[in-house]
């Protein structure tokens, strides 16, 4: 009988130990999730409070941004934090026939007292999978000038016609026109060549001293485009602010799909530009970062005054 009692006691001890291990594993999972969300809400304070004499401008392919992605609270928190670090950010790959995803994102951005607004294009594309561009901007630092419009192309070379808008700083003399593009991967080389015409068109309708910046997901690398090849946009009158050395992909590769190109001279350009590696800044796992996007946003700092 004594032996049976000891065995029953040992069995109970093993069950209690197993239950304890399960509780620890579950708790660890919640702790990791809480840590991620905490880091998202508190990270990158320095970048949110960049020099008040500068404007942070950039581009972000959010990768199939629609109702499904906008329903993920943790992803929306990260996207909101990213946007708040910018004064102007050109968004690509908005795929939402309901037109609610972007509006929900901006409401989330402004939920902390920020004051962001947006300009959005019509739905563009040759297939049933239409996309929109948007310029999201901080109303406390910049204002749109005139009316945004799609490039009036005559040759139908762009699958998603570039979307053009002008902005000025609320303080200082910064004034520039932007064209955002998401090239079709299978026709990237031809579309990148044609971006020169877009920039020259914008230059022709603007005062001569105002820079034109063409930015977005060019698909300008890898199997889509030979980044060493010459295109008209690489003439001496332009500067590729995001060069071939910058990795703009969240994936394991090092491709520079996303670009910022400016006319020269650009008296506002500081020389400070790159990819905003939000996974490192916010201490995210690779798996979670990939839920946010497969692209890093790119950025450049411009002076408000020359």
Q: Is 50 a catalytic residue?
A: no
Query: Cα separation of 287 and 30, whole Å?
Result: 16
CB proximity list for 88: less than 8 A, separation 6 or greater: 55, 56, 57, 58, 135, 136, 137, 138, 142, 167, 178
Instruction: List, in sequence order, every residue forming a beta bridge with 163; answer none if it has no partner.
Output: 150, 180
- 3-class DSSP state for residue 206? coil
The residue annotated as part of the active site, out of 93, 159, 182, 210, is 182
What's the number of CA atoms in the CB half-sphere (13 Å) around residue 26?
6
The residue annotated as part of the active site, out of 131, 159, 191, 210, is 131
- 3-class DSSP state for residue 207? coil
Q: Is 131 a catalytic residue?
A: yes
CB proximity list for 118: less than 8 A, separation 6 or greater: 102, 106, 134, 135, 136, 137
- Catalytic sites, residue numbers: 131, 182
């Amino acid at each position: 009988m004594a032996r049976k009692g000891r065995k029953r006691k040992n069995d109970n001890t093993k069950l209690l130990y197993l239950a304890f291990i399960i509780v620890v594993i579950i708790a660890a999972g919640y702790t990791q999730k809480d840590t991620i969300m905490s880091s998202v809400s508190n990270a990158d304070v320095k970048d949110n409070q960049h020099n008040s004499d500068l404007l942070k401008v950039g581009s972000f392919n959010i990768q199939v941004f629609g109702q499904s992605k906008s329903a993920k609270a943790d992803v929306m928190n990260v996207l909101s934090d990213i946007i708040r670090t910018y004064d102007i950010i050109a968004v690509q790959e908005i795929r939402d026939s309901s037109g609610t995803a972007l509006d929900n994102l901006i409401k989330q951005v402004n939920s902390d007292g920020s004051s962001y607004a947006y300009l959005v294009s019509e739905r563009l594309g040759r297939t049933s999978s239409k996309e929109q561009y948007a310029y999201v901007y901080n109303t406390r630092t910049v204002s749109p000038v005139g009316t945004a419009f799609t490039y009036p192309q005559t040759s139908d070379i762009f699958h998603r016609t570039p979307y053009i808008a002008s902005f000025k700083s609320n303080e200082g003399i910064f004034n520039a026109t932007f064209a955002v593009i998401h090239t079709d991967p299978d026709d990237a080389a031809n579309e990148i060549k044609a971006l020169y015409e877009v920039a020259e068109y914008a230059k022709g309708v603007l005062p001569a001293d105002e820079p034109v910046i063409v930015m977005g997901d060019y698909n300008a690398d890898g199997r889509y485009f030979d980044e060493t090849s010459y295109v008209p946009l690489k003439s001496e009158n332009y500067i590729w602010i995001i060069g071939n050395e910058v990795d703009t992909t969240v994936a394991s590769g090092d491709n520079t799909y996303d670009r910022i190109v400016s006319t020269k001279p650009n008296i506002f350009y500081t020389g400070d530009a790159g990819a905003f590696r939000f996974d490192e800044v916010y201490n995210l796992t690779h798996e979670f970062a990939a839920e946010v996007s497969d692209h890093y946003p790119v950025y450049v700092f411009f002076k408000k005054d020359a």
